[in-house]
Amino acid sequence: MLIRTIDYKNNKIRIIDQTKLPLKLAYIDIATLKGLWQAIKSLQVRGAPALGAAAALGMYLGIKDSSSPDWVNFSRKLDAAAKYIGSSRPTARNLFWGIERIQAVARANREKPVSQIKKIILDEARGIMREDMLSCRKIGLYGARLLKKNNRVLTLCNAGILATIDYGTALGVIYTAQKQDKKIKVFASETRPLLQGARLSAWELHQQGVEVTLIADNTAATLMRQGLVDLVITGADRIVANGDAANKIGTFNLAVLARYHKIPFYIAAPQSTFDLKTKDRKGIKIEMRKGAEVTSILFKRNSAPQGARALNPAFDIVPHQLISGIITDQGVITAPYRVNIRKTLKCA
């Protein structure tokens, strides 16, 4: 089944409303910047690469009706849109990368009439979506080489179709291996508090015909000790210069468990997730979300006494020492990361 997470149609951003899954596959059309901000904040659209595309399209929403005749006024609008979208969620590098790509292409064309700059911006945002489709497939090809027939892969959160335009990073690796007839089995860790593993990964893997078994997050150690996991593969929201990688809360737990059980632990991510200006994990801002996500089951039913305090960091950081390799669209990067990331991604 072909699934497209995000698109631009009839002057609106069309997304799958991921808060409705797995009960309903519903699409919503977003016509305003405020609507996009809310959709990002509430995780109707989520996952680092999808956020990069959403942010880029959002930049277009922010300026498309601008009547500013000159660059100075127009660029103020663009900067305001950038600031606003950037205030939605802090951790995924892709979101800021999407914004910066649009700002850069606009600046490079500042001498042109505003009407033309607008068109260039929309083309760039569409280009970002096309690039993601391509780069996820390359990640899939590089990653699938690491998988042997009948391997059992553990993953967390959702780094699949729903986190990208249409293919996925960590789950893209699985889809490619499946096409190669490797008969991969997946354990999806449910991913409390918002259950992206259960609601989204289990749903899309099932749709794609991959054998998936859902586990509660606290089952991972037992599975590993029983020898039921061959590899762990997750996505990432931000990978910094030394290879430290931020991803959904609980990823660090899995990396520690994998090391203890001598199981390879891989991260899959496109170039747009890398933040090489940040040296190490100390420079990564972790999003803190509402306690109500923890004290309830998807806001529908309280799972803690009224007034209970809750702490809810949305991400944690895997130190590079625990990562066996980073599967990118340019190849699989291994240690020493500080040198090899730059070499593989061809950065100066």
Which residues form the catalytic set? Answer: 237
CB nearer to ligand MRU: give 78 or 146. Answer: 146
Work out how close the CB of 245 gets to ligand MRU at its nearest, in angstroms, rounded to a whole number: 10
Please say whether the beta carbons of 99 and 69 come within 8 A.
Answer: no
In angstroms, the CA 214 to CA 85 distance is 34
- Residues 55-84 interacting with ligand MRU (rule: CB under 6 A): none
Instruction: Give the DSSP per-residue string, 73-136.
Output: HHHHHHHHHHHHHHTS-SS-HHHHHHHHHHHHHHHHTTTS-HHHHHHHHHHHHHHHHHHHHHHH
CB nearer to ligand MRU: give 43 or 224. Answer: 43
Q: Which residue is nearest to ligand MRU (CB)?
A: 235
Binding to ligand MRU by residue 255, rule CB under 6 A? no
CB nearer to ligand MRU: give 146 or 245. Answer: 245
Using the structure block, give the residue that is written with the tokens 């859902």.
Answer: 214
Structure tokens at 345: 């991604």
Please say whether the beta carbons of 204 and 158 come within 8 A.
Answer: yes
Single out the residue of 189, 247, 328, 344 in contact with ligand MRU (rule: CB under 6 A): 247
Q: Which stretch binds ligand MRU (CB under 6 A): 100-108, 228-236, 253-261, 299-307?
A: 228-236
Let me know how long the chain is.
Answer: 348
Q: What three-state secondary structure class fits 145?
A: coil
Closest CA relative to residue 312, chosen from 292, 331, 332: 292
Single out the residue of 47, 52, 62, 331 in contact with ligand MRU (rule: CB under 6 A): 47
Please say whether the beta carbons of 154 and 220 come within 8 A.
Answer: yes
Q: Which stretch binds ligand MRU (CB under 6 A): 46-54, 63-71, 252-260, 302-310?
A: 46-54
Binding to ligand MRU by residue 5, rule CB under 6 A? no
CB nearer to ligand MRU: give 106 or 327. Answer: 327
In angstroms, the CA 156 to CA 235 distance is 8
Q: Are strands 231-234 and 27-30 parallel, antiparallel or unpaired?
A: unpaired
- Residues 175-214 interacting with ligand MRU (rule: CB under 6 A): 196
CB nearer to ligand MRU: give 124 or 204. Answer: 204
Q: Which stretch binds ligand MRU (CB under 6 A): 30-38, 39-47, 276-284, 319-327?
A: 39-47
Single out the residue of 77, 101, 192, 248 in contact with ligand MRU (rule: CB under 6 A): 248
CB nearer to ligand MRU: give 41 or 152. Answer: 41
Work out how close the CB of 248 gets to ligand MRU at its nearest, in angstroms, rounded to a whole number: 3
Binding to ligand MRU by residue 318, rule CB under 6 A? no
Closest CA relative to residue 222, chosen from 249, 175, 261, 177: 261
Q: Which stretch binds ligand MRU (CB under 6 A): 103-111, 144-152, 158-166, 176-184?
A: 158-166
Q: Which stretch binds ligand MRU (CB under 6 A): 57-65, 76-84, 98-106, 159-167?
A: 159-167
In angstroms, the CA 74 to CA 112 distance is 12
Please say whether the beta carbons of 235 and 318 come within 8 A.
Answer: no
Q: Are strands 211-215 and 185-189 parallel, antiparallel or unpaired?
A: parallel
- Residues 90-149 interacting with ligand MRU (rule: CB under 6 A): 92
Single out the residue of 174, 231, 254, 314 in contact with ligand MRU (rule: CB under 6 A): 314
- Helices 48-63 and 114-144 pack at an angle, to 10 degrees, of 170
CB nearer to ligand MRU: give 241 or 246. Answer: 246
Work out how close the CB of 158 gets to ligand MRU at its nearest, in angstroms, rounded to a whole number: 6
Using the structure block, give the residue that is written with the tokens 């066996």.
Answer: 324
Q: Which residues bind ligand MRU (CB under 6 A)?
A: 43, 46-49, 92, 157, 159, 163-164, 169, 196, 234-237, 247-248, 314
